[in-house]
Amino acid sequence: MKKTLLLLITLVLVASSIKAQHRPPGFKNNDKIKALKTGYITDALNLTSKEAEKFWPIYNVYDKKIMDLRFEKSRELRDKIKTREDFDALKEKEAEQLLNDFINIEKDILAAKNDLNKQLLKVISAKKILKLYKAEDDFNRRLLQRLQGRKGPNQRQGQGPGRN
């Protein structure tokens, strides 16, 4: 009963946070996945209602920033590379700039993670933060497996007919 109430409170907080946040253009509606991730993380961390109340606003800001960096900023760079008709004509200076842009995105992701750690240490234990990273990885792995499971066996990347 306690977990159900906590999950309900968390989902309400996340839903209101999601509505308040502006989604970058091109993002699809991922509310269902976000709700599943929220439930998964809440359960994995076994957050108290007091912890959840402070944890989720911090985490949601971090998650939005990471999504923007990983998907929007990286996609912009990848699109620059893909749209080049003559890749060999790319000047060395342009290539170096693109490499630096990719590195800067990774630095920004690391900075966001450092900031998250500092803020969360005021709210939850270091052990729960480690559990958070594990829960994120586990959730992403399960989501990927589920998405791959929806494809037919012949449609999975790298698999031919009759392979599992």
Euclidean distance between CA atoms 116 and 142, whole angstroms: 24
**Closest listed residue to residue 123, CA positions, set 38, 21, 12, 48:** 48
- Most confident range (mean pLDDT) of 47-51, 80-84, 87-91, 157-161 is 47-51
Q: What average pLDDT score do residues 122-148 get?
A: 94
Q: How confident is the model at residue 3, as a pLDDT?
A: 54
Euclidean distance between CA atoms 115 and 59, whole angstroms: 10
The length of the chain in residues reads 164
3 state SS of 35? helix
Q: What average pLDDT score do residues 118-138 get?
A: 97
Give Cβ neighbours of residue 65 (< 8 Å, ≥ 6 apart). Answer: 112
pLDDT reading at 14 higher than 50: no
Euclidean distance between CA atoms 37 and 139, whole angstroms: 7
pTM over 0.75: no
Q: How confident is the model at residue 80, as a pLDDT?
A: 73
Q: How confident is the model at residue 26, as a pLDDT?
A: 45
Average pLDDT of every residue of the chain: 78
With contact defined as beta carbons under 8 Å apart, do 124 and 45 qualify?
Answer: yes
Give Cβ neighbours of residue 42 (< 8 Å, ≥ 6 apart). Answer: 6, 7, 10, 52
What is the per-residue pLDDT across 21-71, written as a single tens digit (0 to 9) for each?
444 444 454 788 889 999 999 999 999 889 999 999 999 999 999 988 888
- The H or E element spanning position 6 is helix 2-20
